[in-house]
């Protein structure tokens, strides 16, 4: 009986340790995603890449299970005219973490806004427009200390430059994010996006 009780205690401690580890990993991802990033160094080393600015700021109330980010991407020379504005809802799904992508109603209202800007209080999560099929599922690699994730192939529709769908791949490190977005037609010919590899954003 005593041995059975000891095994039960060890099991409980193991589960507690896993839960704490899972929480820590989730918070680590959040801290790595937040901030302002730039591909300036990459653009100077390789002229096939543009100098792009990327901002990811927290909005709304977060919980231990999820958080929301406002994401703004622009050419560095045109910061007041971002070409991509999104909201990411990041949440736990078993051992994976999902980044669910939304567009915003009237996105021009939010250009250059910060986390505490009251403009974000004028919208709620249910007013966002889901980018169906565009979820990015992230896994943590404790050996290489990074998060990697991608969309499922063929599920994220696109009508840009003759593409039928888009794929996104991301690798996230502390202070760095490599993001590779590409558009494909139904014959799996690449229609837009970087060819050599992802954009290398540094904080």
CATH number of the domain residue 49 falls in = 2.40.128.590
The answer to whether the CB of 54 falls within 8 A of the CB of 70 is no
Over its C-alpha atoms, the chain yields an Rg (Å, rounded) of: 19
pLDDT at 6: 45
Q: How many structural domains comprise the chain?
A: 1
Predicted TM-score of the model (pTM) = 0.87
- Residues 6 or more apart whose Cβ sits within 8 Å of residue 30: 58, 62, 67, 90
The tens digit of pLDDT for each residue in 106-135 reads 999 999 999 989 999 999 999 999 999 999
Which alpha helices (DSSP H) does the chain contain, by range?
Answer: 2-33, 40-45
The tens digit of pLDDT for each residue in 163-189 reads 999 999 999 999 999 999 999 999 999
Burial class (CB within 10 angstroms; exposed 0-12, middle 13-18, buried 19+) of 192: middle
**What is the C-alpha separation between 103 and 131, in angstroms, rounded?**
7
Whose tokens are 């499922």? That residue is 152
**What is the C-alpha separation between 195 and 186, in angstroms, rounded?**
18
Kindly report the number of other CB atoms within 10 A of residue 31's CB atom.
Answer: 9
Domain hosting 94: range is 2-202
Between 144 and 5, whose confidence is greater?
Answer: 144
């Amino acid at each position: 009986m005593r041995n059975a009780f000891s095994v039960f205690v060890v099991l409980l401690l193991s589960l507690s340790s896993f839960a704490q580890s899972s929480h820590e990993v989730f918070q680590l991802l959040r801290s790595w995603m937040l901030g302002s990033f730039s591909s300036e160094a990459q653009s100077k080393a390789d002229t096939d890449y543009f100098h792009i600015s990327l901002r990811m700021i927290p909005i709304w109330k977060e919980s231990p299970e999820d958080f929301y980010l406002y994401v703004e991407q622009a050419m560095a020379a045109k910061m007041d005219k971002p070409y991509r504005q999104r909201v990411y809802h990041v949440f736990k799904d078993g051992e994976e973490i999902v980044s669910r992508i939304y567009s915003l109603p009237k996105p021009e209202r939010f250009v250059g806004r910060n986390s505490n800007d009251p403009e974000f209080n004028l919208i709620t999560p249910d007013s966002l427009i889901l980018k169906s099929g565009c979820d990015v599922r992230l896994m943590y690699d404790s050996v290489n200390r990074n998060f990697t994730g991608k969309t499922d192939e063929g599920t994220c529709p696109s009508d840009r430059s003759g593409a039928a769908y888009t794929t996104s791949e991301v690798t996230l490190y502390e202070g760095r994010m490599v993001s590779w977005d590409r558009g494909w037609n139904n014959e799996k010919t690449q229609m837009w996006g970087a060819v050599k590899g992802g954009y290398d954003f540094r904080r």
